[in-house]
Structure 1
Amino acid sequence: MTPEEALMVARRTPDTFLQLMPAARNEEAAGPLGGVPFAVKDIFDVRGTRTTAASHVFDHRPPAREDAEAVRRVTAAGAVLIGKTTMSELAFSGLGVNEGFGTPTLCRAGRDHVVGGSSSGSAAAVRAGVVPFALGSDTSGSARIPAAWTGLFGFRPSWGRYPSAGMTALAPTLDTVGLIADSLEYVETVDRVLADVPPPVGDVRAPTYVVPHEAYLASCDPDVLERFHADVSRLRAAGHRIAERKIDSLDAARGLHQRHVHIVEAEAFAAFGAYLEQPDLLGPAARRRLERARSRLRAGSADVLYQAMPSLRRQFRRELGEALLLSPAVEIDAPAYEDVRTSPQTHDERNGRALTMTMVLSYLDAPSLVIPTGTGEQPASVQLSSCSGQDHSVLRAARLLTGT
């Protein structure tokens, strides 16, 4: 699709997820992404536009004077920026509901369902065929969750692999640029552009894949678990070596996350907690999460998690070895929009569950790729992960799993 065609498609689609640029932006005509249209989550600075993070908190922010470094690298590689996408307010939700700035949905079985967040608009733009890839962010799962719920590829790189300058922060300890794309080829190409690395060379040795033990997966809804086991069986039948293994670092990270103040809560409250004194600036979901963070911080802290992360990451590396982890991306299916829009309790419960699988891997700084495996009424996917810094291993193994 050319940039002109992308703009025509975008103008025919609802404006709940994409704000078009006044004119398509192209810095370079040539490059590995020459002429490919893309969109960016409204957490990235784009010269001449105001970065809203989909919140009235930034209503008085002036237009950006320059592009975020990630945007600059992608446009310098020839891609054409056509617009900015909506998101969960302040990137602080895994569901993508935002009454003030737009909530993208997909209709399934006669009901509208959320597409996931916080990079909801980026996933919606790719899912609608407006662009083949979009930049999002991923702190707790913000690119992976919507990718899983829309049948797309979603990639969270190791922390620091991509430049974050010019990206509004939520929790800097865990924030990364995230990718959502309709093909593995675009994930690979954009990864090389953003990380400034050459294409891999040499043959790809077939790895061993590890599936977590059943107790770790027990929180998944039955339908999710059934689809995951079906995918594992299919991959085994295709000749891939897959073993089940108890990985203590996964259990330990999840346990700490359940018992203590979350790092994202602590850092989001430090950044935005003061706006609780100006409640009209915050949407209801963001306000509730910040109020919860304030309450939890009065009784505890995230210090235990900060202190445990380095040793847990080393332990994860020892336990996984040269294998790669296969797990479900999300333990629940996408909720119906009406259910989470009208019931704060349902919203918050589903939001917490949506983040469970991805959040643990963020703590371990595990580069993780969501790979779509089925496009039925409810998309199926697996999450492929490795140890921090082993991004190339994830992407090369994904080639083997997808047979491309």
Structure 2
Amino acid sequence: MYRYSVDNAVTYTSEDLVLFRESPFACWMERLHLENPDHGIPPDAGTTEPGDTMTRQDDVAESLLAEGKQVTLINWDIREPQRRSQTLQAMRDGVDFIVNGQLALGPLSGSANLLMRTSGYSELGNFLYIPCDTQGKTTIHSAFRLCFLADLLHGLQGQLPPKMLVIRGGDLLPLTTDDHIYHYRAVKQRFMNAMRDFRKHRMPDPAESSHFGRWADCANEVMRQRAERDEIENSPLQAESEAVADNEPLQPEAGEETLQVQLQNPIQARLATGRGLKVSGTLADQARALQVQVVPDVETTEPQASAEAADPALDNLSFIGREPSSKLEDMDAGFDVDCIDDSDYALPDSEVAVKPVPRPFSNSLNTGDDFDR
């Protein structure tokens, strides 16, 4: 990439798209270096700026002229604006071969080894041009670079070249454009979006690139600092500190809850805290949750003292299990017994505004089940 000499606009070549396809990080670094050469990040020692891999093909022009072909040779050493205009003029003239041409459209520009005229229809007339690679060395990017030129020709002549040629001496390898152009255009769209949205503070993740170009030292330093930061954030000491910080705001709320519970009567306190009580949604749910227990012999077993013996809420229930067995056998089990009555634990008149009406505790349970009483 470089700045065009006419309007100083950022211009991209096929090499930039090849680099972006393999390393968005390296491509971003090259754009950063172009926008701000004094950014302070040095490139790797012994490396040079990426340049155009295309070389002049004057010998190809001489070979074609020797065969009596109509050839236009563009001077490789003149400035790019003149090379662009001379290439377009040769295309309009309909010459058979154009050597060392320069194709450009919008922010894209690229050198063309050889443009060959072929039959067809385009905005130029009843002919069109196809790109040819005569570099002498085939790489995995040869077809991709030809697609770059074919796409430019599509915009300049109004017709996509149906074929692309790879020429190596006497060998000719034709490539069908449709087999390669769609991959190129997908990469081109991503590349143009990345260049349009370029920001100096938004570096791509180096880990998502297959190589780092001439910025390997920078990429390794970025990934090293990230690994150290992640190690600190995920350390047990850091996790323990965060857990303590999360629990600190809950302490005042816990104190307020304890104070409120202390101001309630024993039954209300047990209902508020849920300690010792397990209440389900309905009376049927409570009945199903009951567990069968073995009742000890009331004549031989004395009640054991427990931590809940001092609970005032259980004082009125202390008579259970102390009646003689003969009386228990004579009792009729067919009537209902309210084990707890809210009225037994109502606050004194001086502490409440309105004295609650005594009612059985069982009536306060909301149940949809219909039991025979």
- TM-score, normalised to structure 2's length? 0.22
Higher relative contact order (CA 8 A, sep 6+): 1
Larger gyration radius, structure 1 or structure 2: 2
TM-score (normalizing by structure 1)? 0.21
